[in-house]
Copies of this chain bind each other. A is one copy, B any other.
Amino acid sequence: MSILVVGSVAFDAIETPFGKTDKIIGGAATYIAIVSSYFSKQVYLVGVVGGDFPMSVIEDFKQRNINVDGLEIKQNEKSFFWSGKYHEDMNSRDTLITELNVLANFEPKILPIHQQAEFLMLGNLAPDIQRGVLQKLGRRPKLVVMDTMNFWMEIARRSLLETIKLTDVLVINDEEARQLSGVKNLKHAAEAILKLGPKVLVIKKGEHGAMLFAKTGEFFNSPALLLDRVIDPTGAGDCFAAGFLSYLSQQHYISFDAMKHAILYGSVMASFCVEEFGTNGIMYLTQDKIQERYQYLLKTTQV
């Protein structure tokens, strides 16, 4: 089924203990759209870039059957740019540069073709922009998944809470869950967050896996894949969310059991991402590679 992806399409410059990149292609919606394209032939990308963004990348999106009618190009402006440096353990990072550029006045272009989308992925963005997308959609999608980050908890908490209330699945990491809830114990933090409105909460723990909490009280806990190498965590959370949502977009009925498998697909897609800098790890996947890693995850986590 069709997936509408809203989020940043951008340039990143990344430094990790394994090396350093110049400006490379990044942005939440970039990672999400690419991952989703392995699961759905109807992926709609909504975002904004500047005149500096390479047309070859947009061509590549099209080649992947990603519809880019909603990707606005502001010829006289510059694309969003983020630069960051990961610490030794790669679990934390410092932001070195954030140039909002085109994102400063981003108004997602929701076109008639987007109205039919059954799955909506709200990549990390200002929460009022995320909520605006929901308001512009005439009918509510079958499933709304949103990502956010600590930054919005600090500077736009009220708006964030309003957006979370309208969301089906909130996907955040453990530190963000603690910050959002003000509760240290993750079980209690999850309970507090589910009271904010979402039906389901996914807490990502990076190399330590992910946890799935439902308002019904159902719970699932999964380790991540143990990898030979982790080169660059940038985009891993986006790939996780995209794997989760786009696996569900293939299911007729979104049961809790389906969401368990979706968690595993999220882990699989994130695992490819972190093995290379930027989007390199997810650019050249095949269905066989995805299935092989999914089967391996099953084999090594199921008794």
A 209-235 binary contact with B (CB < 8 Å = 1; else 0): 101000000011111001111100000
Q: Is the CB of B226 within 8 A of A219?
A: yes
Residue in B186, B226, B302 whose CB lies within 8 Å of A186: B226
In the complex, which residues of chain B have a beta carbon less than 8 angstroms from the beta carbon of A222? 223, 301
Q: How many angstroms from the CA of A221 to the CA of B264 in the assembled complex?
A: 13
Q: Is the CB of B302 within 8 A of A187?
A: no
Tell me if A's interface is mostly helix, strand, loop or mixed. mixed
Is residue A139 within 8 Å, beta carbon to beta carbon, of the partner chain? no
In the complex, which residues of chain B have a beta carbon less than 8 angstroms from the beta carbon of A260? 303
Q: Is the CB of B226 within 8 A of A211?
A: yes
In the complex, which residues of chain B have a beta carbon less than 8 angstroms from the beta carbon of A187? 226-228
Min Cβ gap A213→B in Å is: 9
Q: Interface size on A (CB < 8 Å)?
A: 27
| CB contact list, A247-303 vs B, under 8 A | 257, 260-261, 264, 298, 300-303
| CB contact list, A164-219 vs B, under 8 A | 185-188, 205, 208-209, 211, 219
Task: Knowing A227-B187, A228-B188, say if A303 contacts B209 (CB, 8 Å).
Answer: no
Min Cβ gap A166→B in Å is: 27
Residues of A within 8 A of B (CB): 185-188, 205, 208-209, 211, 219-223, 226-230, 257, 260-261, 264, 298, 300-303
Apart from A185-B227, A211-B223, A301-B301, 17 more pairs, CB < 8 Å: A185-B228, A185-B229, A186-B226, A187-B227, A205-B208, A208-B209, A209-B209, A211-B226, A219-B300, A220-B300, A221-B300, A222-B223, A261-B303, A264-B303, A298-B303, A302-B302, A302-B303
